[in-house]
């Protein structure tokens, strides 16, 4: 990862198709398009790739999350169970929907644990929003079973895990809706973009309308369309979709390269004392965007990141000290610093997010390091990285 490492003639051709028509907007202008519908084509191919009936492209992964929550009927006053280890956009989308994020513990998958979700359940819980972090899966079958048993909506944040699967079924395909991101550092990229995917025709119709000011998209005269609901502008452009379409067609090759490079590193690290690895419920379904491993304690993990950097091993993240991906450093969220008052702040029992305590998650994230797996490494560069990684970690672990 990410897909921009392999931009080539395919992306240029798709973009040039759009520029030649002069139609950058994803809707309308049928006669001028010369048959080019990049967003539609991307959606059709993505849905087929995931084994689902529907996909709708959005302007970003964050827009996809907001759209999925709305399309699934999650809104004001609803409690949504979320993990503390995610990109902050997951929580922002819940807040912007007027809903209440409720944090539950993760396990050694580094994703929401079914036990943590059960402990966080309240009478106001409406949905569970697991995040398949760093390219691999939560215990999604157990989470789905829990949601089904308790009448909860399951929405998957698979923004970092396009191409990953569990027992042969694509991540993002287990819940009422799934969400993907195609931003600059994702496995495949549009520059900016995201998608809502679902097998539920009603959810798709709601997502398609909500993300475009409520338009019903019936007929071929946009100005005459009716409005199904109040919505937002979360549309993707044809230029972004064009890049993503070319990238999606490269996904199999990307996954093959990532898995090969990750295996070389992981195999070499197996014998390092003190190094263990993230639990993968289905190793064959890992998209292999990251190799995540544990060091015995938080201080040694900090030392390990420094040792790796000194050895020239870049792209290693200690999430415990990361500003964007773990709740520990989200001071702006804990204090609900916002441009305007949030819906959650109007509640008589507004949660005190400053008091959230997640000791199990802290213990895991404190010891976890994720190493980015690149697509562009040559055989020689990969061999050098393997040797440098083993040497750096042996000096610490």
What is the radius of gyration, based on Cα positions, of the chain?
A: 21
Q: How far apart are CA 133 and CA 287, in angstroms?
A: 11
* 370 vs 134: CA distance, rounded Å: 8
**Is 38 noted as a catalytic residue in this protein?**
no
**What are 179's strand-pairing partners?**
157, 196
State CA 241 to chain mean position distance: 18
Of 174, 167, 222, 177, nearest to 204 by C-alpha is: 177
Of 179, 208, 168, whose CA–CA distance to 46 is shortest?
179
Please pick, among 176, 186, 250, 262, the residue that the annotation labels catalytic: 186
Pairing of the two strands 177-181 and 153-157: parallel
* C-alpha closest to that of 370 among 321, 310, 312: 321
Distance CA 240, CA 256 (A): 25
With both helix axes pointing from N to C terminus, report the angle between 9-21 and 238-248 in degrees, rounded to the nearest 10: 150
Structure token digits, residue 241:
């979709």
> Any idea which residues carry the catalytic annotation?
186
């Amino acid at each position: 990862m990410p897909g921009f490492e392999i931009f080539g003639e395919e992306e240029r051709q798709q973009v040039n198709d759009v520029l030649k028509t002069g139609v950058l907007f994803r809707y309308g202008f049928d006669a001028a398009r010369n048959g080019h519908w990049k967003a539609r084509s991307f959606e059709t191919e993505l849905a087929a790739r995931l084994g689902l009936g529907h996909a709708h492209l959005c302007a970003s992964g964050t827009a996809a999350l907001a759209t999925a929550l709305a399309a699934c009927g999650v809104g004001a006053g609803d409690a949504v169970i979320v993990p503390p280890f995610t990109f902050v956009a997951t929580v922002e989308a819940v807040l912007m929907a007027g809903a209440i994020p409720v944090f539950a513990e993760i396990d050694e998958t580094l994703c929401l644990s079914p036990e943590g979700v059960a402990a966080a359940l309240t009478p106001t819980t409406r949905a569970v929003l697991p995040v398949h972090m760093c390219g691999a899966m939560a215990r999604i079958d157990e989470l789905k079973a829990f949601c089904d048993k308790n009448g909860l909506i399951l929405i998957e944040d698979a923004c970092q895990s396009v191409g990953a699967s569990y027992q042969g079924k694509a991540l993002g395909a287990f819940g009422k809706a799934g969400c993907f991101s195609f931003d600059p550092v994702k496995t495949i990229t549009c520059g900016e973009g995201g998608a809502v995917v679902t097998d539920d025709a009603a959810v798709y119709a709601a997502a398609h309308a909500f993300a475009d000011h409520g338009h019903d998209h019936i007929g071929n005269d946009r100005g005459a369309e009716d409005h199904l609901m109040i919505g937002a502008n979360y549309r993707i452009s044809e230029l972004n979709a064009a890049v993503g379409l070319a990238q999606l067609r490269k996904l199999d090759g990307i996954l093959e390269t990532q898995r090969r490079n990750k295996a070389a590193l992981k195999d070499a690290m197996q014998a390092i004392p003190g190094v263990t690895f993230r639990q993968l419920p289905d190793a064959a379904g890992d998209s292999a965007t990251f190799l995540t491993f544990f060091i015995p304690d938080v201080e040694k993990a900090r030392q390990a990141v420094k040792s790796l950097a000194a050895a020239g091993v870049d792209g290693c993240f200690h999430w415990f000290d990361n500003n964007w991906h773990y709740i520990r450093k989200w001071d702006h969220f804990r204090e609900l610093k916002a441009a305007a008052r949030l819906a959650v702040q109007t509640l008589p029992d507004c949660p005190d997010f400053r008091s959230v305590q997640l000791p199990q998650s802290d213990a895991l994230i404190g010891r976890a390091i994720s190493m980015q797996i690149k697509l562009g490494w040559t055989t020689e560069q990969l061999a050098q990285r393997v040797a440098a990684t083993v040497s750096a970690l042996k000096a610490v672990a």
